[in-house]
Amino acid sequence: QGLSQNASSLCSTQKSASDYTNFDREFLSEKPKLSYSDKNLIESMDQSAFAGFSFINPKFEQILDK
């Protein structure tokens, strides 16, 4: 129960869904970037888990076309 009590105390300080006060400032200051992925690896993965999704990042499509 110690873990759930600690988790509850951390979550209870969150003021809203966009409250990032529990994240490290250095982490938050980093620019987001796409991770490199091997085209063959992506093509070998079962894509059925993504059925019904209507958005694909255009930058991701560019990676697949390489």
* Residues 60/34, Cβ–Cβ less than 8 Å: yes
Task: Please state whether the predicted TM-score (pTM) of the whole model is above 0.75.
Answer: no
* Residues 48/23, Cβ–Cβ less than 8 Å: no
Q: Where are the domains of the chain?
A: 2-65
Predicted pLDDT at 29: 92
Single-letter code of the amino acid located at 63:
I
Written as six digits, the tokens of 16 are 């809203």
- Please write the tens of the pLDDT for every residue from 7-64: 666 556 777 888 888 889 998 999 988 777 788 888 898 888 888 887 777 777 666 6
* Residues 23/31, Cβ–Cβ less than 8 Å: no
